[in-house]
């Protein structure tokens, strides 16, 4: 049963008893109360665990969640996924790694005419979903949007925000991720599920090129001057710190949005590179060594087994099955600097080339707390509510999109500003 009056629920959190799912439920309960008239439920494999979760969170939050509808659904049971999708307008999918478990949920949602959002940072999964389901989702009038968390809303919507405020032509952006602890709290900072997704992403990185050749048979036009990647290790004048290329999905997600803006909206495509900043060269060297070991081991079955069996050992204690403590999460802040370079003048056509070097820069800062699980869950739930309330401001009448393309013309940035994830022009 979807709801007490027989109508569909507005949203269901699938995988609610998982680490990310639990915090998504807390955030959805808070925002549903704030927005009003939001009917929602939880779903997963075990009804008793779901009911216990709602009882525990009722005590934790002080809200009565015991009457929230509970749906039983399993990624290995197609009929149960379709029944879940048929009972709601939108599924918030927290069951990863998405390369293993995501497609079955997307397939069921598209078949039943149900919107779908998730927090995947896995380019292979996201681009495969766009290749396989974009046309079907358009026909059904539903939106499938991945990367609706820390990966990669700050970078993607940060680039959109910068472009809208630039008042000229943006040629390229560089993003610089930083984080800091408000007070020193020890312990693991990454949940095992996030690490597992990263390991299999590295192991299957070679899938991306042939996948992209099918998804994007035509290359984007080359904008000049061509953006050159920084050295592997470099000290950035933008943030004044030592930096490495950011290994997450930010750049791939941003470039998918830029392709959409060029092909559908006739906008000049922005070139992009992503970096992560550290306070010392010693920290950079440590990260390079750990990353190198993980990269090598991820290429073999034995290596992956070792990484997943002993995640704490191979990451210096950063990863655990229990995940970070609430104290550590609430004391972790992030900022993403999005630095754009271009021209004050705006040319008539998106493929026109400027005759002089870039003459304007702008920097946008995106800030928040608890990037991996707190801010991520806020962004995920706000993305879901935006689809429910502002689908008329989204591209086409459905399809598979990255968040920048999906939410560029909605109020999502303004809503996030009100809920702890801020976007602001910091320099021009």
**Which tens digit of pLDDT belongs to each residue from 276-333?**
999 999 999 999 999 999 999 999 999 999 999 999 999 999 999 999 999 999 999 9
Question: Residue written as tokens 């991820």?
Answer: 298
Question: Residue written as tokens 């766009």?
Answer: 130
Model confidence at 6, in pLDDT bands (50, 70, 90)?
low
Quote the CA–CA distance of 101 and 377 in Å, as a whole number.
19
Quote the CA–CA distance of 255 and 281 in Å, as a whole number.
29
400-426 pLDDT tens trace: 999 999 999 999 999 999 999 999 998
| pLDDT of 1 higher than 80 | no
| Cβ atoms of 340 and 405 closer than 8 Å | no
| pLDDT of 4 higher than 70 | no
Question: Residue written as tokens 């026109």?
Answer: 352
94-109 pLDDT tens trace: 999 999 999 999 999 9
Quote the CA–CA distance of 335 and 387 in Å, as a whole number.
26
Q: Does residue 394 sit in helix, strand or coil?
A: coil
Q: Where are the beta strands (DSSP E) in 370-398?
A: none
Q: What is the dihedral of CA 37, 42, 47, 51, to 10 degrees?
A: -60
Widest distance between CA atoms in the chain = 66
Separation in Å, CA 364 to CA 155, 307, 343, 404: 10, 37, 16, 15
Quote the CA–CA distance of 252 and 246 in Å, as a whole number.
11
Listed residue (141, 91, 167, 86) closest to 340, CA to CA: 167
Listed residue (373, 333, 385, 418) closest to 119, CA to CA: 373
pLDDT score at 37: 84
Listed residue (413, 411, 408, 410) closest to 423, CA to CA: 413
| Cβ atoms of 142 and 108 closer than 8 Å | no
CB neighbours of residue 365 within 10 Å: 19
Separation in Å, CA 19 to CA 167, 270, 378: 42, 35, 14
């Amino acid at each position: 049963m979807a709801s007490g009056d027989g109508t569909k629920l507005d949203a269901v959190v699938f995988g609610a008893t998982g680490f990310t799912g639990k915090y998504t439920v807390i955030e959805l309960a808070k925002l549903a109360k704030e927005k009003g008239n939001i009917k929602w439920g939880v779903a997963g494999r075990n009804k008793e665990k779901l009911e216990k979760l709602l009882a525990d969170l009722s005590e934790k939050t002080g809200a009565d969640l015991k009457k929230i509808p509970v749906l039983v659904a399993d990624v290995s049971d197609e009929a149960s996924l379709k029944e879940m999708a048929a009972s709601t307008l939108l599924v918030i999918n927290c069951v990863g790694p998405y390369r293993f478990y995501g497609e079955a949920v997307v397939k069921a949602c598209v078949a039943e005419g149900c919107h779908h959002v998730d927090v995947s940072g896995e380019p292979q999964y996201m681009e495969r979903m766009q290749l396989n389901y974009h046309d079907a989702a358009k026909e059904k009038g539903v939106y499938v949007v991945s990367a609706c968390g820390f990966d990669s809303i700050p970078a993607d919507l940060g680039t959109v925000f910068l472009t809208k405020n630039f008042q000229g032509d943006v040629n390229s952006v560089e993003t610089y991720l930083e984080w800091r602890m408000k007070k020193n709290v020890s312990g693991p900072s990454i949940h095992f599920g996030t690490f597992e997704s990263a390991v299999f992403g590295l192991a299957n990185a070679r899938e991306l090129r042939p996948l992209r050749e099918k998804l994007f048979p035509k290359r984007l036009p080359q904008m000049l001057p061509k953006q050159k990647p920084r050295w592997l290790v470099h000290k950035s004048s933008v943030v004044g710190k030592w930096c490495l290329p950011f290994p997450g999905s930010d750049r791939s997600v941003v470039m998918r949005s830029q392709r959409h803006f060029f092909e559908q909206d006739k906008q000049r495509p922005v070139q992009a590179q992503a970096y992560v900043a550290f306070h010392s060269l010693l920290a950079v060297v440590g990260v390079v060594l750990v990353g190198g070991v993980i990269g090598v081991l991820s290429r073999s079955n034995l290596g992956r087994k070792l990484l997943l069996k002993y995640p704490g050992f191979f990451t210096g204690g950063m990863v655990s099955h229990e995940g970070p403590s609430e104290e550590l999460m609430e004391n972790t802040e992030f900022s993403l600097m999005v630095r754009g370079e271009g021209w004050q003048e705006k040319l008539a056509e998106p493929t026109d080339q400027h005759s002089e070097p870039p003459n304007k820069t702008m920097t946008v800062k995106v800030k928040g707390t608890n990037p991996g699980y707190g801010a991520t869950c806020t962004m995920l739930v706000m993305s879901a509510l935006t689809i429910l309330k502002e689908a008329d401001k989204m591209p086409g009448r459905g399809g598979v999109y990255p968040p920048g393309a999906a939410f560029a013309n909605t109020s999502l940035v303004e809503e996030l500003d009100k809920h702890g994830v801020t976007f602001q022009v910091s320099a021009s």
